[in-house]
Amino acid sequence: MSKKDFDVIVVGAGPAGMAAAYVLAKAGVDVIVIERGKFPGSKNVMGGIFYRKPMDDLIPEFYKEAPIERHIVEQRMWLMDDVSHFSMGIKTQKHNSEPYNCFSVLRAQFDKWFSKKVIEAGALLINETVVTEPIIENGKVVGVRTDRPQGDLYADCVIAADGVQSFLAKSLGLRKKITPNKVALGVKEIIGLSEEQVNDRFGIKDSNEGVTIEITGPFLKGMEGMAWVYTNKNSVSIGIGVIIDDLINHNMNPNDLLESLKNHSSVLPLIEGGETREYLAHVIPEGGYKSVPKMYTDGFMVAGDAAMLVDSIHREGSNLAVESGKLAARTYLEAKESGDFSEKTLSRYQEKLEETYILQDLRYYRNLPELLEEKRYLLTEYPQFLIDAMTEIYTVDGVPKPEKFKKIKGELKSRFGYIGLAKDLYTIWRKLR
């Protein structure tokens, strides 16, 4: 190699990049993180739930010092149509004591805190600098070019944690252009309320405890997507993410969708009277396992959203980012021992990911994006049936119960047909194998 300014260049100061930088800096590696935003977190968006486990492995008991909003003790799942919602969920004291399961966070604050830890560990952080392309010599990635004057940097290895659009992974041909049927557009507002209002409206006793609501169903008019309401300390994060192709085909704009969500009879009482403090939007990679690219080449690894690591079924993303960043860093440390940063050595990174729950989870759901794309009615008609059946059961109108059950059975048959029902169940079972 001709030049070397650092051992490793990490591109992007989100959870993936910072987890990688943290592991490397702790191991005494000379690492620089390059972030395009004004500060880490200034451009980062997610629904608002951060899982404890991967972060706790990195910084034990981080939740005692990090700016978290509430630990989540109740998770609700709503199937919603225009006038009703059918609710399921779990509230458990098992999630109400340390070490907790997950937290609501505001990324602008959380990422800033994380970056402080990374700097304390010994990494250099450079903000407001855009990495424009990889520098390639003899077929190997040897550094990055930035938009700054005298902006070339050289290193043994580049870890690209540059987000869902990952220009680096694309320019190296690792990733194909993402298509609008594989990404969702998420829009979100943070609505300010008082701590007491949040507690009262969500049935919370202690201001450290939090509730999440995930919403899908026929209110989306057949589009594939998910809405959410998460409690922060004195605000609520409310948002909706819908596959971009669906937005185009339904001629819908996400702002209108969010507005109608906010005004829905089930949602409005939770946020009424609150003041919108922030408005955010971001693209969410939803392609699942099949869209995960080859995550390495000579002198180069990809982590987090840049590697399409999002489990949209379980609203997991930031934890996969942290986990992948850690594994990329560990792979580098192994490679450093032999001084060999070739594709062959770095391929261990993807093997490691395959061995963890990250790629195992994504592999399990690998057929789901296609299935749902093909059979959008699974997201509308079954939930609608459930809502209607529950409404029927709970309506006391003089009709005898046996007759009600018969009516529900009849509806099931006329809406789906027993054969259709069996087919759908079989398809889902087969696709998840």
Q: Which is nearer to other proteins, 32 or 368 (CB)?
A: 32
Q: Which is nearer to other proteins, 32 or 309 (CB)?
A: 32
Pairing of strands 6-11, 31-34: parallel
Taking alpha carbons only, the member of 329, 42, 27 closest to residue 163 is 42
Please pick, from the candidates 135, 153, 295, 358, the single residue that binds other proteins as defined by CB under 8 A: 153
- Tokens 């997201």 label which residue? 379
Per CB under 8 A, the segment of 72-80, 123-131, 217-225, 349-357 that binds other proteins is 123-131
Find the shortest distance in angstroms from Cβ 3 to other proteins. Answer: 13
- Length of the chain (residues): 433
Find the shortest distance in angstroms from Cβ 38 to other proteins. Answer: 8
Q: Element (H or E) spanning 200, and its range?
A: helix 195-202
Count CA atoms within 13 Å of residue 336 on its CB side: 17
- Tokens 């990495």 label which residue? 131
Q: Which is nearer to other proteins, 133 or 355 (CB)?
A: 133
Cβ proximity of 67 and 159 under 8 Å: no
Please pick, from the candidates 68, 79, 125, 372, the single residue that binds other proteins as defined by CB under 8 A: 125
Cα separation, 119 vs 245, whole angstroms: 40
Q: What is the DSSP letter of 3?
A: -
Q: Does 277 bind other proteins (CB under 8 A)?
A: yes
Find the shortest distance in angstroms from Cβ 145 to other proteins. Answer: 10
Q: Does 149 bind other proteins (CB under 8 A)?
A: yes
Please pick, from the candidates 53, 101, 113, 124, the single residue that binds other proteins as defined by CB under 8 A: 124
- 371 — phi, psi (to 5°)? -60, -45
Distance of CA 407 to the CA centre of its chain: 41
Please pick, from the candidates 26, 140, 148, 431, the single residue that binds other proteins as defined by CB under 8 A: 148
Cβ proximity of 33 and 146 under 8 Å: no
Q: Does 21 bind other proteins (CB under 8 A)?
A: no
Find the shortest distance in angstroms from Cβ 124 to other proteins. Answer: 5
Per CB under 8 A, the segment of 14-22, 121-129, 295-303, 342-350 that binds other proteins is 121-129
Count CA atoms within 13 Å of residue 226 on its CB side: 20
Q: Does 115 bind other proteins (CB under 8 A)?
A: no
Q: Which is nearer to other proteins, 74 or 162 (CB)?
A: 162
Q: How many CB atoms lie within 10 A of CB 287?
A: 19
Find the shortest distance in angstroms from Cβ 304 to other proteins. Answer: 22
Q: Does 151 bind other proteins (CB under 8 A)?
A: yes
Binding site for other proteins (CB under 8 A): 32, 38, 124-129, 146-153, 277
